[in-house]
Chain A
Amino acid sequence: MEQQSNHPQEHPDGTPGGPRATRRQVVAAGAAAGLGLAIAGPAAAGTAKTAKRTRVARSMGGPSGWPGAERYQYPPNSAPGRAVAAAKALKGPNKPYQLVVGMYPGSIGNYSTPFPKGATPPAQLWQQLTGIKIKFVAVDAAQAYAKNTRMAATRDGSMNIVQLGMADTGDLAEAGLLRDLSDFVGQYRPDWNDPKWGYLGGNTTTQMFNYYNGKPYAVASDGDYQVFVIRKDLWDSPKEQAAFKAKYGYALAPPKTWDQQADMAEFFHRPDQNLLGATDLRSPAWGWINFVMRYTSTGNPVAYYWDDNMKPLINGPGGLKALNHMIKTTKFGSKDALSWVWPEQYQNWGDGGAAMTIAFTNLTKFQKKGGPFDKSGFDVGSKTHAIPMPGWNVGGKLVRHTSLYFNASNGVNKFSPSKYHEAAYLFLQWVASGPIYTWLTANPGGYQDPCKVACLTDPLVRSSYTPRTVDVIAMTLPGAAPSITALKGANEYIQALDINLQKALSGQVSPQAALDAVAKSWDQTTNKVGRAKQIAAWRASKAGWPKIADSARGKV
C-alpha cells in the first residue's frame, strides 16, 4: 500500500501499551522527522493539493474523502483499528446508543468541526464506524475540578466520560470518579508508547500523563507544554547585538541560561518604546509554572519537589535561586505583571510589545498575520522564534526543562453505567491514537495541542503551529519536567505554592520565608492525605520524570 510507512506500528511484544520507546529514540525520531519534512514538506503539500479525493483503502480505517486523509488512516490491527472493531462488536446491553462526554468548550471543536472543510467531523466519523453516537456536554475548564468533585460526591453517572486537568487525576482517582483502565489497556493495547504514534517522550510521558499510583486512570488529550519565544528581529539586529555586547560583554544570542535571560530582559526593557523585556506570567494560577521551570532545572538531571520520603525540597538553595530570579526579572515585565493573565500577554505579544515570553505552544498558532492578536498589523508571527527553555549551569552542565500544566485528559466515569465503560474507553483509545489525535490537533476548531510523535511530521500541524515551534517541541518535550501532578491533593500543593510565590513577588515576605511557608503547607497536606500513601504515589510518579538533563542538547 502506498501509505504503508505511515501506518501505526503493531506492538510486537503484545504488552499493554506496546514497546517502550526510549527518550533518545523519540528525540531522534522527532528531529529526523522535522528535518525530513523540511525537505519533503513542500512536495508533500503539493501532492496533497493536487490529489484527487481519495477513498479509504479496503482494509484501512479512519477519515477519507479529502486530499491528505490517508495520513490519518490506520490498519485494522492498530490501536484505533482495534478500538473501532471492539466498539462495533459490542452487542446488546453493552452497546450504548450514545456516550455522553463532558468536555471543555474549547476542545469540543476539535471533535465536532469538519476539518478540512467538508470532511466528516471525528465524532460523527466514530458514530459512522461504530454506531455509537457522541454527545458533548460543555464543562467550563475553570470549573471542571469543582464539577468533577461534585460528581464524585453525588455519584453522578450522567456523563460516561469526564474531562479533567492533569493535576486532578490523583484526586479524582481517589474519589472513585475515574475508573482504573488497566484491564482495557491490557486488552486493547493503545499506542501511547509507540515510537511513531505514541506520546512524545514515550513511556515517561505516558506515565506522567495517564498514570496515578502506577495505574492508568486517564487518557491525555492535550499538550499544554510551555514554549519560550523571542522576537527574532531584535536578536538579528546588528545595532542591538553591538549594544548588548558592549554592555554585557558577550554576544546577543537566544538565552540558554536564566542568567542570560535576565540580562536580555533588562537590556530590552524599554517601556518608553512600548517594549517590555520579558512577560512570562506571574499572576495567581498562571505564574507558578514559570517558577516550576526555573526550579526543576536547578538539579542535575532534575530537581524534584520532594525527596523519597516526601520531605519538601522546594525551600532549599534551588528554590531560592529560582524565586530570586523570578523576583529579579519581574520588573522587566508589565507593571501589572502580578495580575496579567494570558489574554493580556498574548495581545501584548501580538502588538510586538515584548522581547520574549513563555506561553503555551498555541501562542505561535494564534499569532499569525491578520490573526486575532494582530490588531496593530505588526505581524509578530513572522518575527516569533521558539527556542528551548533556558536553564541553569549545574556543576558545569546545562540543565534545561520545560514543563506543562492544565493539560486536558479524559477519564471513564466509574459512576456511569458499568456496561458502557468499555465503549467509553474504546472511544478514548480511538481519539487519542496517533493518527486520529494528529488529525484532531491540526483542526483549528479547538485548542488541543500536539503531544504525539506523529504530530511533528504532520504538514497541517506544522503549518498551524509553525515548523520552528514544532521542532522545538520535538527537542524539548522529551525532557519536560512534570508540574505538581499524580498526587492526591495536587491542587492544594499548587495552591500553597501559588499563594506564597505571590507573597514573595509582591514583597510581602522574603523569598526564603515564602518557600518555608510552602514547605510547611506541603507537609500539612501530606500528613492530612496520609504520608505513607502519599509517599507511595510520589515514588510511583517518578516514572514520569525526565532522566536526562537537557533533551535539546546538541540540537540548537
Chain B
Amino acid sequence: MGIATDTTTPADGVPAVTVLPEGHHHRHISRMLILPGVVLLLLLVLFPVVMEVYISLTTWTPTSGSQWYLAYRDWTWFSNYWDGLTSPSFLHALLRTVVITIAATGIEFLLGFGLALLFLEKFLGRQVLTVLFLVPMMIVPAVSGFVFYLLLQTNGPVNYILTALLPGTVELQWLTNPSLAPISVTLVDIWQWTPLMFLILLAGLMAVPEDQIQAADILGASWYQKLRHVVMPIVKPIILIALIIRGMEAFKIFDAAWLLTQGGPGEVSSTISVKLYREAFQNSQWSYVAALAIVVMIIVSVAASQAIKPLEQRQGGAS
C-alpha cells in the first residue's frame, strides 16, 4: 500500500486538516515502540565491536599502563592483522580448527542422522534410549573434558578395552602423541555433540508428513527411494541448519582441547580458541587478539552466509 493523504475540504471556516492514512500511523507508532530496543541492541552489539576494532588498530594491552580509550596513543593501523595473517602459529591453528570442525561436524552428522533414522521406528525402550543418548550433551564440557583426560591416559580404560579386544597390548598415547592428540580432541567433541545433531535431525524427520510416506509406499518406493525423494527434500533445510549451528560451535571448540592437552604437545591440538585464550589471558596481547578475533569473525560470517544461501534460495523460490 502506498502512502496517500486525504485532505479534507475546508468547510465553515475550519482549516484544512491533513489526515494520515491508518497504515502510516501504525508504522510510525510501531517504529517508536521498538526504537528503545533497537538502540539498546545497537549499543550492546555495536559498542563491543567498535571497541574491538579500535583496540585491534593499536598495540594497547592492559599492561601498557593506560586506559583502553587512550589506546590511540599506541596507534599501529593494521600491523596486528598483518602479524596474525603472517604468523605460522595462527594460520596453523586456523587450519587445524577447520579440519577439526569439518571432521567433527561431518561425523556427528552421519552418526546423528543414522541414529535419528533408527529412532523413527517404534521399538521397546526407545524413550529410555533417547534420553540416554542425550546425556553427553547435558554434561558440562569441563567435566567431560576431565573425564576423557582420565579415560585416555596410556594406562587408562580406553587402552585397556582396546587391549581386551585386539591382539597384543595397546598403549596408544592419546594425549601426548602429536598425531593422536588432535584426534582425541575431535573424538571428545563427537561424543559430546552427536546427541545435538541426533535431536535436531530426529525432530526434522518426525516432521515429514506421514501421508507422503504412505503415498510413496503405495507407489512401491524402496526405503532408499523414500529417503532420497521424499524425506531428504523436506529435511534438507533442517540438516543445513544443524550443520551450520554445529559447525559454528565446533569452530569455537575450547574445553576439550584445553582440558585434554592444553593445545599440545606443542601446538598440535591448539585450536583457534586455545590460541586466542593463550594470547589474551596468558600473554596479555589484547590488541593482537582483537585483530585475530575480527579475522575469525569475518571468516565464520562469510562461511555461514555461504552455507545459508541454499536456504535463502529455497525461501526465494517458495515465495
Chain A interface residues toward B at CB < 8 A = 143, 145-146, 149-150, 152-153, 155, 171-172, 174-176, 283-285, 334-339, 488-489, 491-492, 495, 499-500, 502-503, 505-509, 528
Contacts and interface: CB of A to CB of B under 8 A. Distances in A.
A276 to B, nearest CB: 12
Nearest to A150: B62
B282 A506 contact: no
Given A150-B62, A284-B263, A335-B154, A507 B178 contact: yes
A175 to B, nearest CB: 4
Interface string B256-286: 0000011111111000000000101111111
Contacts of A339: 149, 153, 175-176, 261
Number of contact residues on B: which range applies? 20 to 34
Contacts of B59: 528
Given A336-B176, A339-B261, A492-B283, 12 more contacts: A146-B281, A153-B67, A174-B63, A284-B261, A335-B176, A489-B284, A491-B283, A499-B264, A503-B266, A506-B177, A508-B265, A508-B266
B125 interface: no
B154 A284 contact: no
B130 interface: no
A121 B61 CA distance: 39
B212 interface: no
B301 interface: no
Given A153-B68, A176-B65, A335-B155, A495 B176 contact: no
Contact of A145 (B262, B265, B268, B281): B281
B64 to A, nearest CB: 7
- List 4 A-B pairs, minimum CB-CB distance, nearest first: A503-B266, A506-B265, A338-B176, A153-B62
B249 interface: no
Contacts of B281: 143, 145-146, 149
A449 to B, nearest CB: 24
Interface in B48-82: 59, 61-65, 67-68
B267 A335 contact: no
B278 A495 contact: yes
A489 B262 contact: no
Contacts of A505: 265
Contacts of A176: 65
Contacts of A143: 281
Contacts, number: 99
A488 B266 contact: no
Point out which of B63, B154, B178 has the most chain A C-beta atoms below 10 A from its C-beta.
B63
A152 B63 contact: yes
B171 interface: yes
B156 to A, nearest CB: 9
A171 B264 CA distance: 25
A492 B68 CA distance: 21
Contacts of A503: 265-267
Contacts of B265: 284, 338, 502-503, 505-506, 508
Interface in B162-187: 171, 173, 175-178
Given A152-B63, A336-B173, A508 B263 contact: no
Contacts of A155: 67
A335 B171 contact: yes
Contacts of B280: 146
12 contacts: A146-B280, A146-B281, A149-B62, A175-B62, A175-B64, A284-B264, A492-B282, A502-B265, A505-B265, A506-B264, A508-B265, A528-B59
B70 to A, nearest CB: 12
Contacts of A285: 262
Contacts of B285: 492
Point out which of A153, A339, A505, A509 has the most chain B C-beta atoms below 10 A from its C-beta.
A339
Contact of A508 (B62, B153, B175, B268): B268
A115 B59 CA distance: 49
B278 A149 contact: no
Given A335-B154, A335-B173, A339-B176, A149 B63 contact: yes
Contacts of B177: 506
Contact of A506 (B176, B283, B284): B176
A487 to B, nearest CB: 11
Nearest to A170: B63
A528 B264 CA distance: 25
Nearest to A286: B262
Nearest to B268: A508
Contacts of B173: 335-336
B63 A495 contact: no
B283 A489 contact: yes
A503 B176 CA distance: 10
Nearest to A155: B67
A502 B267 CA distance: 8
A149 B176 CA distance: 31
Contact of A149 (B149, B155, B264, B284): B284
Given A506-B176, A506-B177, A499 B63 contact: no
B282 A495 contact: yes
Contacts of A335: 154-155, 171, 173, 176
Given A153-B68, A335-B171, A491-B283, A506 B178 contact: yes
Interface in B282-298: 282-286
Contacts of B264: 284, 338, 499, 502, 506
Contact of B64 (A174, A334, A338, A509): A174
Contacts of B62: 149-150, 152-153, 175
Contacts of B68: 153
A505 B262 CA distance: 15
B83 to A, nearest CB: 9
Contacts of B155: 335-336
Contacts of B67: 153, 155
A175 B178 contact: no
Contacts of A145: 281-282, 284
Nearest to A509: B266
A336 B262 contact: no
Contacts of B175: 336, 338-339
Contacts of A338: 175-176, 264-265
A500 B63 contact: no
Contacts of A499: 264, 266-267
A489 B283 CA distance: 7
Nearest to A148: B62
